[in-house]
Chain A
């Protein structure tokens, strides 16, 4: 069965390693924080100027001066720090952040990503996504494999305006874990009960299937 949004986040959480500084995008990526192993040390960076983000506050303890990049009220953990936006992006562009997890509308087989604009329909802006994808060494995309009409979002070429070029290394979708290599989507893992054929059907770009493809384990 295809993964739920929580399961996508749960699978991505396995990529978060001890000692990582991690930036989480809005949507599914935000959920990743809930599934990170408790025995490792990880710091979450929020590009509006927080390092060491904690969980949501208890009711009545929310502070309008303490939000994340999704404008949600948050808390900080011991050792946290605040800083201005220019310094925040020094952390990002300067590659001090180890892992970036963000959502996408489309990804192409060469690693291009589109996630900020649908011409004529939706223009919310790129926020920090362009800075993040242009500089991060390690980018994981959390996304649905197909759109509501069932059309593939893993394409030969993106059709929407790009956020960044040749930058995505790994995708965790509701159907599969995929690595981008040799201008192709290389299938690494399948969602439990999802066949290779189903994944192939849902992938417009070039899909590499090499040997046995294990199912994800939760």
Chain B
């Protein structure tokens, strides 16, 4: 067993520098690497590019990095819930590349898999296709999209072990598995770090080979963005 355990978030973030490109898992605030984001805020790393489906809310998730103007560029698919984001984008302070959600996921997956580029029909005929190669397959137009190139991927899982094996929970899985192994270094934070041999190999979602550093997060706030409930009748 190759041990991927690091002492905590500080060791997990060793080697982080200004100007790097990060991938961050999560959909909305669900399944975001809370502890790693807090450390990026503390390190005050600047001019970073973030690949993340969303940009958090004003005071949580990636919104915290936006508040401190640490982000130079965001690559996302949906950024609707963040007023500071919208302000920085419309004023030109923040560079933003909005891309289709499936394309975002596949560009991560391609980077993980060693596939440099792929064709997708998503975005053909729209401004997303501008400057990209297009090609007809089976009578339908597709555009060429490239794998991401990132320095660090920060993912969050439910359970993990010292070998770096990961298990996700519910819809907190989202982009996290696709980002594992898609950057030079993958940092996985987990709610529960288990000794090797506890997780059933049949139930592992991401094998440890895709993870370089793993630690148990100190705490998880797990904020809910849109609480929707029904009354008991």
Q: Convert B52-71 into 0s and 1s, putting 1 for each residue whose CB lies closer than 8 angstroms to a CB of A.
A: 01000000000000000000
Query: Contact between B28 and A71 (Cβ–Cβ < 8 Å)?
Result: yes
Chain B positions within 8 Å of A125 at CB level: 76-80, 98
Candidates B27, B79, B124, B229; contact of A48 at CB < 8 Å: B27
Q: Are A57 and B101 in contact (CB under 8 A)?
A: no
Who on chain A is nearest to B103 by CB? A131
A85 and B172 contact, Cβ closer than 8 Å, known pairs A64-B222, A130-B100, A162-B125:
no
Tell me which of B76, B86, B106, B171 contacts A66 (CB under 8 A).
B171
Given contacts A127-B77, A130-B128, whether A56 and B171 have CB atoms under 8 Å apart is no
B35-43, B175-183, B193-201: which lies at the interface: B175-183
Contact residue among B81, B101, B232 (Cβ-Cβ distance under 8 Å from A85): B101
* Known contacts A82-B173, A125-B76, A126-B100: A64-B30 contact under CB 8 Å: yes
| Cβ of A214 under 8 Å from chain B | no
Q: How far is the CB of B233 from chain A (nearest CB, A)?
A: 10
Structural contact, B102 and A93, CB atoms closer than 8 A: yes
B2 within 8 A of A: no
Most B-side CB within 10 Å, residue of A61, A73, A74, A112:
A73
Tell which of B8-16, B115-123, B146-154, B208-216 binds the partner. B115-123
Partner of B79 from the list A66, A124, A128 (CB cut-off 8 Å) is A124
* A residues 70-121 touching B (CB-CB < 8 Å): 70-74, 82-86, 88-89, 92-93, 112, 116-117, 120
Q: B171, A65: Cβ atoms under 8 Å?
A: yes
Say whether B172 contacts A123, CB under 8 Å.
no
Tell me the bound Cα distance from A217 to B173 in angstroms.
42
Contact status A85-B27, CB under 8 Å: yes
Q: Kindly provide the distance from the CB of B210 to the nearest chain A CB, expressed in whole angstroms.
A: 12
Q: How far is the CA of A127 from the CA of B55 in the complex (A)?
A: 12
Min Cβ gap A198→B in Å is 32
Interface status of A192 (Cβ within 8 A of chain B): no
Tell whether, in the assembled complex, residue A71 and residue B125 are in contact, meaning their CB atoms are under 8 Å apart: no
Q: Is B174 an interface residue (CB 8 A)?
A: yes
Q: Are A88 and B170 in contact (CB under 8 A)?
A: no
Give the residue of B78, B102, B109, B225 whose beta carbon is less than 8 angstroms from that of A131.
B102
Which residues does chain B contribute within 8 Å of A69, judged by CB atoms?
A: 27
Find chain B residues with CB under 8 A from A48 CB. Answer: 27-28, 30, 171, 174
> Shortest CB–CB separation between residue A159 and chain B, in angstroms?
14
Question: Do A58 and B122 have beta carbons less than 8 Å apart?
Answer: no
With A49-B173, A71-B28 known to touch, is A85 a contact of B178 (CB < 8 Å)?
A: yes
B77-A128 in contact (CB<8A)? yes
Chain A residues contacting B31 (CB-CB under 8 Å) are 65
Listed A/B pairs (10) with beta-carbon separation below 8 Å: A58-B230, A67-B27, A82-B170, A84-B105, A86-B105, A123-B79, A123-B98, A127-B77, A127-B101, A130-B102
Q: Given A71-B81, A124-B79, A125-B79, list of 11 further CB < 8 A pairs?
A: A57-B229, A57-B230, A59-B231, A67-B171, A84-B176, A86-B105, A86-B178, A117-B98, A124-B78, A126-B77, A126-B78
Q: Measuring CB to CB, which residues of chain A are less than 8 angstroms from any residue of chain B?
A: 46-50, 55-74, 82-86, 88-89, 92-93, 112, 116-117, 120, 123-131, 134-135, 161-166
